[in-house]
Amino acid sequence: EIYQLVEEDLTRVESQIKAVTEVDSPRFAELLSHILGGGKEIRPALTLLSGKFYHYNLDLLLPMATAVELMHTATLVHDDAIDNSTVRRGRPTINKVWGEDKAVLLGDYLFAKAGEFAAITGNLRVIMLFSQTIQIISSGELDQAFDAFNLEQTRAHYLKRISSKTASLFSLATESGAILSQAPEESIKVLREYGCNLGIAFQIVDDVLDFVGTEEEMGKPVGSDLAQGTLTLPAMLLLERYPDDNPVKELFHNRDMPEGDKQKKIKQAIELVGNSSIVRQCYEA
């Protein structure tokens, strides 16, 4: 279990995040407590693990690992508001309980708080990298928003989008850990690329699970991407396999169809993917 290598220090990250919920306003504290914690902590673990290769300085790595996790949480809060999602990690989303306006403001707060932790490192290169990553993630989100219900997307476009939206944060985690541990430039480059590739693989698996997983596994309803008009790799492969009579095509061409009909089309797409070799193709991509 790779987490065991940094288990004790991940507990310290959790303590830092818990401290973020300790604010003067009880209502604000309730929002923070609702969303913070309960994640897989993959990204902060990657920051700490990347630091293990060289000069492991917890005074620098701890705030950066915390910053990475807070940034990730901020993106989730904003994602849920944009997509009008109702469930995250098996719980109602911030926008579902408190409204979209509160979700946007909370996400902004978490981004700012993440920046504060990144600044504690005192490393200008890492702070610049942190800022650039937010820009890249935002660019990926805009691409996804502009391309909603657009069937004319290529695999290259898909890879670019998930590299921006997901892999950039993994890359921030590994690259910042390497920088803060004074790794040689070649090692920083290798760890950056490792984080990027891991993030791409992570997102492809997540997109597959949206077809073949369960709501318990995902912490949100399956078929969410199709419902929101997001064309993922499994859906692309399904369109290639059935170019004419295809539930994805019908969904995207008739986005205003009644909810009952929409759910039937989503179910058909899920069944077609599950009964084919598309999942294997995705994992081999």
pLDDT digits (tens, 9 = 90+) for 48-78: 999 999 999 999 999 999 999 999 999 999 9
Residue 1, pLDDT > 80, answer no
Residue with tokens 């695999």: 155
The residue ranges of every structural domain in the chain are: 2-207
- Residue of 269 and 255 predicted with greater confidence: 269
Angle at 74 between CA 25 and CA 59, to 5 degrees: 85
* Distance of alpha carbon 41 from alpha carbon 152, whole angstroms: 35
Q: Length of the chain in residues, anyone? A: 285
User: 0.85 exceeded by the pTM?
Assistant: yes
DSSP state of 87: E
Residue 143, pLDDT > 90, answer yes
Q: What is the pLDDT of residue 28?
A: 96
What does the block give as tokens for 248? Answer: 């994805």
Q: Which residues of 244-268 are buried (b: 16+ CB within 10 A; e: fewer)?
A: eebbbbbbbeeeeeeeeebeebbee
In angstroms, what CA-CA distances link 217 with 209, 211, 246, 281?
A: 8, 12, 27, 21
Q: Which residues does 168 contact at the CB level (< 8 Å), separation at least 6?
A: 133, 136, 137, 140, 196, 199
Find, among 7, 20, 123, the residue nearest to 73 by Cα. 20
Name the band, by pLDDT with cuts 50, 70 and 90, for residue 111.
very high
Q: Which residues does 96 contact at the CB level (< 8 Å), separation at least 6?
A: 80, 85, 86, 87
Name the band, by pLDDT with cuts 50, 70 and 90, for residue 205.
very high
- Secondary element (H or E) of residue 240: helix 233-241
What's the start-to-end Cα distance of the chain, in Å? 26
pLDDT in tens, 247-265: 999 999 998 999 999 999 9
Q: Which DSSP string do the residues of 92-134 spell out, in sequence order?
A: E-HHHHH-HHHHHHHHHHHHHHHHHHHHHT--HHHHHHHHHHH
Q: What is the mean pLDDT of residues 212-222?
A: 85
Considering only CA atoms, give the Rg of the chain.
20
Find, among 51, 47, 53, 38, the residue nearest to 65 by Cα. 47
Residue 215, pLDDT > 90, answer no
Q: What is the pLDDT of residue 2?
A: 79
Q: What is the mean pLDDT of residues 79-86?
A: 92
* Distance of alpha carbon 171 from alpha carbon 259, whole angstroms: 38
Give the mean pLDDT of the chain: 96
CATH number of 2-207: 1.10.600.10
